[in-house]
Amino acid sequence: MIRSVAEAGKSIRQKRQEFEQRMKETCIIAVLLGAGGKGLEKRRNIEEKLEKEGILALIPEDDFAPDVAPSITEEVVLEKSDVDIIFINVESWGSATEFGQYHDKEGVAPKLRILVPYRYHPLYGTSTGYLTDLYLTHIVKYGHVYAYDDSETTDYPTSEKIIMKLTTRHRLLAALGKI
């Protein structure tokens, strides 16, 4: 097929415009799980940034039914809804319990992205505890266990950078029909 430069340019611009429109129309749903207190404020800040990128972010404390037990509501929403990606920042006993509850649930585990302080990551840290061992099992079975450093004193990315990078790429792949 022989075409002119003008025809090729027009075709490329049209494809780019179609893709840009698909990106605008593509919405993914991310759930942010983690500790309360400062952890909740950090998740709310990330939620705001994700929504500016066209990503619907849910925080159970703010978005799930307050009159129903969180352990029941979360499980139903995570397993039976159109949630695309779930982040658990394991920084408290509660978030460690959530990870333990979901790490092997068939409808939830493949969506999980586990954020772990680098010193507890089974490949980069030195911890040998039960939770670190469970992270290793999750890595082998599903992948998606990410080391972070929110103090920014090492070369590890912050939890926010990991969440932003993974969700924006997830949305891009969804727009392309690749996931």
pLDDT over 70 for what percent of the chain?
99
**Res 1 pLDDT > 70:** no
Chain mean pLDDT for the chain: 90
CB 47 within 8 A of CB 53: no
Q: What is the pLDDT of residues 11-21, one digit of tens each?
A: 888 888 887 78
**Res 74 pLDDT > 90:** no
Mean pLDDT within 48-73:
88
Domain ranges of the chain: 30-175
Topology of domain 30-175, CATH: Rossmann fold (3.40.50)
